[in-house]
Chain A
């Protein structure tokens, strides 16, 4: 089981490799990837340095080109595929059908992974991507229960990559337009949910904070509360007189305890979310997951989650609490 870790810059990439990542994923400095935030990501020189560092230490490098071009931007995406292929990356992580088609024809030997943004929640969708474009791996949206994941693995023509830790999308990735309804920019079109340009933090007279996205009030915090980044699905709203987290609490996914089950299913890789996070986050999370995967591989039957691991992960989790998410049926 491969451990795939995020890098928004070279120090994070080094932190991932040095702490035991089998593969690191990254993106270019533009809207061709779903973490298009200021100050993040790589230019061609950075990718080259990243590949050199990773390969020297036996790790793989993947490039995510996982947003959806419109006709006017088409060449930027095809060029991103060309740049990644020419620089010798080990795989590209794609979401758009048109770009998958381009990559499969132009670079027949390039490893294609289907991004989580490709919204494949069932094996028929995976078969479509495999039959048409020869994908070799699929990243599964964070919406399936563990038993549904098992069923998909039994029928999928390619290995699955599952999210193990990090911020949690509660909506099917690649099909969430909440951000664009408020701002005109979605992860699909722009590569960012709640783009920073549309975020406002407004101090209140009482010492509290209001957070807004595109002018829309996402949450209002008491002076005693820690204000979170305004993603709509984690805001507090009013529904029929009830105020609260109508969609989802701010929480992180943490599936350490499912490791033996995921290994038994034959899951190909575990993905850590967080290209927008710091090198310290990447180092911490990678180290914990490396230790956990190694422990589980040595002896899956007696595997137990080390409380120290969970403590370390909780320190860097969003909202400082974690959940098994959809993998645990009760969450649904």
Chain B
């Protein structure tokens, strides 16, 4: 199994992004997804600069994929998307059917991201015909469904699972960060920069529940599939995805790598992971339950 690092889902300033990928270049991840997937107003880097970081990572031995917006509304966003799809160097991750359409028409191979609803063999077949090289299991689907889908996977297509990080749960027209700060979306003052891991939302009785990240809503808790890496391997999962956070991402990559190589036991790995998770880890979706169900180890 390979380790991948998903795209940064938050708004970080340019220097923080560059420093982050300098550390990642020395890490054990095999695949790095780059680019902005949440909000087109977040422009710490332009496409050329992302490509430049991609080349540095490639020189360090990483496979690089350019990821794309999940929610596309404006023509300017489609224009940027076309540029990314036609970059000519790196594989593209399609997070909306717009990207699938552009790639399919131009015969550009692509990864189907987890926000595209690939829930069954029929969709798997259509996507493979269109040029899919890899797919990411939609985050709410279980091990059991993955198992069934793997029976229908065409040759040459890889399977990836979102294995670590706050779970992307929803996308909206409204920006909840701007709303929280009483700002209109059109004049958001880039307040996402204040919260490098999003903003925690609690229930009225103080239970951590969700994370506000601009137009995206995530879980408050981290998905943690470190404890089921052996199950993933047995199911033929090719790539295990870690979603970046502003802190401890290199440590998490190392934990997954050590677990993959069986240099640490399951218990040692989970203990180390849990120390980095003040809100605890969840793996309910993997087990076919409510996503918020905590890990049992």
| Interface residues of A, Cβ cutoff 8 Å to B | 68-72, 74, 95-99, 101-102, 119-125, 127-129, 131-132, 142-145, 148, 151, 170-172, 174-178, 180-184, 186, 188-189, 214, 216-220, 233, 235-240, 242-243, 246-248, 326, 329-332
Contacts of B119 in A (CB 8 A): 68-70, 96, 98, 188-189
B122 lies within 8 A of A237 (CB): no
In the complex, chain B residues whose CB is within 8 Å of the CB of A125: 72, 96-98, 101
Q: Which of A121, A171, A182, A186 contacts B73 (CB 8 A)?
A: A121
CB–CB B205/A217 < 8 A: yes
Q: Which of B126, B175, B289 has the most CB of A within 10 A?
A: B126
Shortest distance from the beta carbon of B257 to any chain A beta carbon, whole Å: 28
* Min C-beta distance of A241 to chain B, whole Å: 10
In the complex the two chains form, is B292's CB within 8 Å of A217's CB?
no
Q: Which single member of A175, A216, A243 contacts B209 (CB below 8 Å)?
A: A216
Q: Which of the candidate stretches B6-14, B50-58, B196-204 sits at the interface with the other chain?
A: B196-204
Residue B115 at the A interface, CB < 8 A? yes
Instruction: Quote the shortest CB–CB distance from B277 to chain A (angstroms).
Output: 17
B120–A71 touching, CB < 8 Å? yes
Q: Kindly state whether residue B152 has any CB partner on chain A within 8 Å.
A: yes
Cβ contacts under 8 Å, B104 to chain A: 128
Task: Kindly report which residue of chain A lies nearest to residue B118, judged by CB atoms.
Answer: A97
Shortest CB-to-CB span from A199 to chain B, Å, is: 14
Given contacts A69-B120, A71-B120, A188-B117, A217 and B212 within 8 Å (CB-CB): no
On whether A144 and B73 interact (CB within 8 A), knowing A98-B120, A101-B122, A177-B169, the answer reads yes
> What are some 23 contacts across the A-B interface (CB < 8 A)?
A71-B121, A98-B123, A101-B123, A122-B72, A125-B72, A127-B101, A128-B97, A143-B71, A151-B74, A170-B172, A170-B173, A174-B117, A175-B70, A176-B171, A177-B169, A178-B169, A181-B140, A216-B203, A217-B207, A235-B203, A239-B200, A240-B199, A326-B173
- CB pair A238–B169 under 8 Å, yes or no, is no
Residues on the A chain within 8 Å of B291, using CB: 177, 180-182, 184
A220→B204 CA distance, assembly (Å): 8
Residues of B near A72 (CB, < 8 A) are 144-145, 148
Q: Identify which of A172, A233, A242 contacts B71 (C-beta below 8 A).
A: A172
Q: Which of A71, A119, A188, A214 contacts B290 (CB 8 A)?
A: A214
| Interfacial chain B residues near A236, Cβ < 8 Å | 204
A71 and B145 contact, Cβ closer than 8 Å, known pairs A125-B96, A172-B71, A182-B290: yes
CB distance from B117 to the nearest CB of A (A): 5
B140 — which chain A residues lie within 8 A by C-beta?
177, 180-181, 186, 188-189
Assess A238 versus B206: contact at CB under 8 Å? Given A69-B119, A124-B72, A171-B171: yes
Taking a contact as CB atoms under 8 Å apart, the answer to whether A238 and B202 are in contact is: yes
Contacts of A233 in B (CB 8 A): 170
Smallest CB separation, B146 vs chain A (Å): 10
Task: Give Cα A176–Cα B217 distance, bound, in whole angstroms.
Answer: 9
Indicate whether B184 reaches chain A with its CB closer than 8 angstroms.
yes
Residues of B within 8 A of A127 (CB): 101
A248 CB contacts on chain B under 8 angstroms = 174
**Which chain B residues (197-253) contact chain A, with CB distance < 8 Å?**
199-207, 209-210, 212, 217, 219
The dominant DSSP class at the B interface is mixed
> Which residues on the B side are within 8 Å of A184 (C-beta)?
284, 288-291
Min CB gap B175→A, angstroms: 7
Chain A: minimal CB distance from B208 (Å): 10
Once the chains bind, are B73 and A246 in contact (CB under 8 Å)?
no
Apart from the given pairs A122-B78, A124-B81, 5 other A-B contacts in the complex at a CB distance below 8 Å: A71-B145, A184-B288, A237-B203, A239-B200, A329-B186
Q: Is the Cβ of A177 less than 8 Å from the Cβ of B200?
A: no
Residue B260, interface by CB 8 Å: no
Once A181-B290, A219-B204 are accepted as A-B contacts, the answer to whether A124 and B148 lie under 8 Å apart by CB is no
Interface, chain B (partner A; CB < 8 A)? 70-75, 77-78, 81, 96-102, 104, 115, 117-127, 139-141, 144-145, 148-149, 151-152, 167, 169-176, 179-180, 184-186, 199-207, 209-210, 212, 217, 219, 284-285, 288-292
Task: Chain A residues near B144: list those with CB within 8 A.
Answer: 72
In-complex Cβ contact of A177 among B71, B121, B170 (8 A):
B170
B180: which of A97, A122, A170, A240 is its contact (CB, 8 Å)? A240
A124-B149 contact in complex given A102-B122, A143-B173, C-beta closer than 8 Å: no
Contacts of B118 in A (CB 8 A): 97
User: How near does chain B come to A230, taking the closest CB pair, in angstroms?
Assistant: 11
Query: Given the interface contacts A122-B98, A125-B98, does A132 sit within 8 Å of B126 by beta carbon?
Result: yes
Contact yes or no, B97 A124, CB < 8 A? yes
- The distance in angstroms between the C-alpha atoms of A120 and B81, with both chains bound, is 16
| Residues of B with C-beta under 8 A to A95 | 117
Q: Which residues on A sit within 8 Å (CB–CB) of B121?
A: 71, 74, 98
The reply to whether A70 and B97 form a contact with Cβ atoms under 8 Å apart is no
Partner of B176, one of A120, A243, A247: A247
How distant is the Cα of A72 from the Cα of B289 in the complex, in angstroms? 16
Closest to A236 in B: B204
Which residue of A has the minimal Cβ distance to B175?
A332
**Docked CA distance A56–B41 (Å):** 52
Query: What is the CB-to-nearest-CB distance from B280 to chain A, in angstroms, rounded to a whole number?
Result: 14
Instruction: Decide yes or no: A177 and B139 within 8 Å by CB, A69-B120, A188-B119, A239-B200 being known contacts.
Output: yes
The distance in angstroms between the C-alpha atoms of A193 and B268, with both chains bound, is: 38
Task: Tell me whether A143 and B73 are in contact (CB under 8 A).
Answer: yes
> Which residues on B sit within 8 Å (CB–CB) of A122?
72-73, 77-78, 96, 98
Q: Give the complex CA separation of A235 and B291 in angstroms.
A: 19
Enumerate chain B residues within 8 angstroms of A172, measured Cβ to Cβ. 71, 170-173
CB nearest neighbor in A for B221: A181
